[in-house]
Amino acid sequence: CCHSTVSYRPIRPSDLEILEQIHGDIFPIRYESEFFQDVVHGHGIVSWAAVDHSRGDGKGDELIGFVTARVVLATESEIVDLLDYDSAESEWSLVYILTLGVVDKYRNLGIASSLILEVIKYACSIPTCRAVYLHVISYNFPAIHLYKKMSFKCIRKLLGFYLIDGQHYDSYLFVYFVQGC
């Protein structure tokens, strides 16, 4: 199929509309328009888009998948306790994955795995970075399977972390340590 024609690039301002549309289609949580503005302008957010060059109708550069992430200070994160942290390491950072998604038709081709590898490579390129981490809602089995396959460790269950349509749902916190890679 299309695998070899898929490539990865940063998300840019021209992706705004499709980025918002896909988030709306595949996530149960609504994101503010400020979030999408920050993504496409790279304001405090790093991102990768997947595109399929073999698509017709001028869609060869249209998003079929994405990952968005933020670099955070380890001291300000909820996983500082996992890091053997002491005051000498005040500069340690982490990469927090905000959103990851692939449009339905392109799933199970390894695109999300490739997007995660881009994030891991980026994290490894930051000398102060110690880990990549993320939250996933507890019923999202495809995503949980994917993170385990990518060697993320499930380190915490957060009860009632998500509030969707007035209902609470648990989340799992997954971490991939990058020290030494």
Can you tell me the distance from the alpha carbon of 21 to that of 15, in angstroms, rounded to the nearest whole number? Answer: 10
Q: Site mask, ligand ACO, residues 144-173, x = CB under 6 A? A: -xx--x------------------------
Q: What residue is closest to ligand ACO based on CB?
A: 112
Nearer to ligand ACO, 11 or 146 (CB): 146
Comparing CB distances to ligand ACO, the nearer of 120 and 136 is 136
CB of 83 to ligand ACO, least distance (A): 20
* HSE-up of residue 156 (Cα within 13 Å, Cβ side): 13
Cα separation, 8 vs 105, whole angstroms = 17
* Residues 46 and 122: beta-carbon distance below 8 Å: yes
Q: Using CA atoms, how far apart are residues 100 and 97, in angstroms rounded to an integer?
A: 7
Give the Cα separation of 132 and 43 in Å (integer).
Answer: 19
User: What is the closest distance, in whole angstroms, from the C-beta atom of residue 34 to ligand ACO in the complex?
Assistant: 18
- Our finding on whether 46 is near ligand ACO (CB under 6 A) is no
SS3 label, residue 108: coil
Nearer to ligand ACO by Cβ, of 74 and 103: the residue is 103
User: Is 12 an interacting residue with respect to ligand ACO (CB under 6 A)?
Assistant: no
26 binds ligand ACO (CB under 6 A): yes
Residue among 83 and 146 whose Cβ is closer to ligand ACO? 146
**52 φ/ψ angles, rounded to the nearest 5 degrees:** -115, 105
Helix (H) or strand (E) holding 17: helix 16-26
Q: Which of residues 90-149 bind ligand ACO (CB under 6 A)?
A: 97, 99-102, 107-113, 134, 136, 140-143, 145-146, 149
Residue matched to tokens 């881009």: 118
| Residues at the interface with ligand ACO (CB under 6 A) | 26, 97, 99-102, 107-113, 134, 136, 140-143, 145-146, 149
